Amino acid sequence: MPTLTLERLLASIGFGSRKECRALIRMGLVELEGIVQEDPFVEFEKRPDFITVNGEEVTTETKIYGILHKPLGYECSAKPQHHESVFSLLPSRFQGMDVRLVGRLDVDTSGIICFSNQGDFIHALESPKRGVKKRYLATLARPLEKEQEEQLLNPMMLKNEKRPVQAKSLNRLEEKVVEIEITEGLYHQVRRMFAAVGNHVEALKRISIGNLDLEQTELLPGEWRLCDAEDLKKLDG
């Protein structure tokens, strides 16, 4: 196993190639416990928990699990077509660590979204077999009729899909505001489900994944944080 040097440490947490990390260090932009480090090849017996780069203290953890409160108007793509990327809200070094979004929200949908660079975690949250529940707050164009509610709570086929989907729960909060829970994660699924029963979603917000509620995270639109052990436990719930 290669010796852990300062340049290798920086490279492992997304600050660029080893050559680029060497340059950061030699410019005096890297500190450890308040002391500027100028030797890229200084070795560590134990990986430090945090390091300061260009004035910002960052974790040296290489396994990333995070949550973001996605605002409206952002594309869930590293290469957006028409709007700013959600990745612009995250540290640029995360892309160097192969961080990916867990599922997507369209540009007109806000709410909680997870991100990680751990394939098993991403698969567990996205896998139809796991059936991780996701709750949305939908504002409709027209009041939800009883017949439409019954259709949504029973298996229904959406166009170009191979398996039926259904709402696991439906809670009418106001005449045109509905809380809906699903366990699949198909493209534009909630919007398509309401359209299929003759209604239209005017505004949509994902308010929970698993047992992790957006409100509990206290994240404002555009804010993010890394998951703690309790978050991960709730996401698995």
Is residue 106 flagged as an active site residue?
yes
Is the Cβ–Cβ distance between 194 and 138 less than 8 Å?
A: yes
Strand partners, 31: 36, 52
**With the C-alpha atoms ordered 61, 64, 69, 72, is the resulting torsion angle positive or negative?**
positive
Q: How is 186-221 classified by DSSP, letter by letter? A: -TTHHHHHHHHTT--EEEEEEEEETTEEHHHHTPPT
Catalytic-labelled residue, pool 39, 49, 98, 106? 106
Is the Cβ–Cβ distance between 40 and 25 less than 8 Å?
A: yes
Q: How is 50-90 classified by DSSP, letter by letter? A: EEEETTEEEE--SS-EEEEEEPTTEESSSS-SSSEEGGGGS
Structure tokens at 87: 């990745």
Please measure the distance between the N-terminal and C-terminal CA atoms of the chain and give it in whole angstroms.
36
Q: In whole angstroms, what separates CA 40 from the centre of its chain? A: 33
Residue pointed to by tokens 């709007």: 83
Catalytic residues: 106
